[in-house]
A and B are shown apart, each in its own frame.
Chain A
Amino acid sequence: MVLLQLDPFLNELTSMFERSNEKGSVWVTLKRCTSSLKSKVQRNKMATAGEAIEYRCLIRATDGKKTISTSVGAKDHQRFQASYATILKAHMTALKKRERKDKKKAAEGDKKEGAAKKPKRV
């Protein structure tokens, strides 16, 4: 599996979302990993010695065919988080908007929802 830098990962994630528009799903997994240390024993030793452990968050994404991954540390996770949220917001357009309570304009509402479901391609 390829471990990408943050920006290439985000680009690839974007195209994964675009490719799965017609059919298919996208999975994104977050998992903690401690980059520099190989074994759990080693980690525990450090923890008892009171040494600081550097945590990183491993992010994997797949569309069932291709898998990409990256990892963020304490320094850059906030920046990554913001870009990641933007991508999600831009691509999760098939989710339903909140249902309106007044059903008088149901016909109009349907049209609007239909339009909302199909994101305008640029």
Chain B
Amino acid sequence: MVYITSWDEFVERSVQLFRADPDSTRYVMKYRHCDGKLVLKVTDNRECLKFKTDQAQEAKKMEKLNNIFFTLMARGPDAETSEVTGKEQMDAQPTKKGRGRKQ
């Protein structure tokens, strides 16, 4: 699997992947202190997205992604992620899938 180089692309695609199959998608963070490397991975066992960095700056961004995933996983796919991210682009996505809103 090739690493995704753009952070924004990684975030967008991993959230999409989770929304498509929330039951089998997991988010893994690997931190290696001696090499100063951080690897993030999101996979649903079919597709795998990875992001690698050694920059402290990216670790700060990762915090936001952690928040997104905690919120999505603990509150369900309909949870608003905009309050955590402050990004408007996230708002458009929940309506598309409409999981668990059959009425």
Task: Report which A residues bind B (CB closer than 8 A).
Answer: 17, 20-32, 40, 47-48, 50, 53, 55-58, 72-74, 77-78, 80-81, 84-85, 88-89, 91-98, 117
Contact = CB atoms under 8 A, between A and B. Distances in A.
Contacts of A30: 26-28, 66, 69-70, 73
Interface on chain A toward B: helix, strand, loop, or mixed SS? mixed
Interface of B: 22-23, 25-36, 38, 53-59, 62-63, 66-67, 69-76, 100, 102-103
Given A30-B27, A95-B55, A96-B54, A50 B38 contact: no
Nearest to B64: A85
A116 to B, nearest CB: 9
Contacts of A58: 73
A89 to B, nearest CB: 8
